[in-house]
Structure 1
């Protein structure tokens, strides 16, 4: 009888010990997950100063929540750099250098083709000012594909030309943001689908 009581107490003690251990592990996991969530939330919290130097809490959003907006901004920035030019060879070189950070070799290929055809020399010789207006940018996040629609204005001494511009390409996410590529995106397989005159207004020569 005494032996049975001892065995029962041993089993009970073992059960209680195992139960306590499992409960402790569960509590540790719950606390760890809670602490991790708190740290993650804290890292997404930043403080900014208002006009009176009072710190205000601001919240950072998850990267993927704003990725489509970043894609559009990146595509818009690249096209603005590539197609908005003035008759200044240093400025053209500066714009192209900045644009090349945002695109793969397909952008360099188009740049070299335009250069060989004398496009940039014609801007200098005619004192043309090129500006670009974005109409819309279509983004397919699943395929990481985009199509750009815009209008380019070429203002020369003798005329003003409006051109329709349509391009397409794909988007590649990069791991690191930089000053030269703040969106951490690279345009790939970029090509021009349409670049034609839709309006040509002659200016008075006097």
Structure 2
């Protein structure tokens, strides 16, 4: 009977050893699985951060792979400058639209630069002339027309393009030559590129030409 008793104890002990081995195997497998998932998730997040989307002339989205941060910042800087200029100068004869565009511009440029320009134009009656004259103001500027010096912060930029004022009787084309500086700031929903324009200055905004429109013409291709 003692022999049977010891055989039973040995069998129970073997079962416990087998159970421990199985449990340890399961725990190791779960930890390995969790490690693989964590590694995959980390790589996915890092890969998503390596993409920068830049609007290409407002028509399509250009995907810039940010394998090197220094390579993509110039592209973001140019798009930031163009977005800033469109908010400042691409206006409709609507007071609410003008105020909303200027307010949005303050997210991309410091208020000193934006408010100074806005106040100066407003005091000259510029915005009232747009509204009363039913003038639609557009900005034509290519990324190739924007130069940014990224070797030292603040980053100096200069941008050249055209400003088009569309009236019922004619279209006036103006030269648009501006300069300023960019500083790095935190990215936000209102400032996705993480730049801020400062010391903004209009260098040249002279009329280039005025094109008469036919009285019954609704559109003019420029």
Pick from 105, 124, 147 the counterpart of residue 131 of structure 2. 124
**Candidates 130, 142, 152, aligned match of 2:163:** 152
* Alpha-carbon offset, residue 44 of structure 1: 1.6
Tell me if structure 2 keeps the 8 A contact 1:139–1:146. Answer: yes
Question: Residue in 1 aligned with 2:201?
Answer: 191
Tell me if structure 2 keeps the 8 A contact 1:72–1:139: yes
State whether residues 136 and 166 of structure 2, in contact with CA within 8 Å, keep that contact through their aligned partners in structure 1: yes
Q: CA deviation at 1:61?
A: 3.1
2:149 — aligned with what? 140
Aligned to 2:21: none
User: 1:161 is matched with which residue?
Assistant: 172
Q: TM-score, normalized by length of structure 1? A: 0.70
The 8 Å contact of residues 44 and 60 in structure 1, kept in 2 or not, is answered as: no
Residue correspondences, number? 157
| Aligned equivalent of 2:86 | 80
Name the residue aligned to 1:54: none
- Matched residue SS, 1:45: helix
Q: Answer whether contact 2:140 2:161 (CA < 8 A) is retained.
A: yes
Is the CA contact 1:46–1:60 (under 8 Å) kept in the aligned structure 2? no
Q: Distance in 1 between matches of 2:135 and 2:87?
A: 16
Give, in whole Å, the separation in 2 of the partners of 1:177 and 1:152. 29
CA distance in 1, matches of 2:215, 2:205: 27
- Does residue 1:44 correspond to 2:55, yes or no? no
2:189 to 147, 172, 179: 179
Does the 8 Å contact 2:138/2:163 carry over to 1?
Answer: yes
Per the TM alignment, residue 60 of structure 1 is displaced from its structure 2 partner at its CA by: 5.3
Per-residue CA deviation, residues 162-200 of structure 1 (Å, 9 max, x unaligned), is 0000000011001x2111111110011100000000011
Q: Is 2:160–2:177's contact at 8 Å kept on the other side of the alignment?
A: yes
Gaps of 5+ in 2: 1-38, 50-64, 217-222
Matches within 5 A, 1:85-104: 85-104=91-110
Q: CA deviation at 1:62?
A: 4.1
8 Å Cα contact 1:165-1:194 kept in structure 2: yes
User: What secondary structure is seen at the aligned counterpart in 1 of 2:115?
Assistant: helix
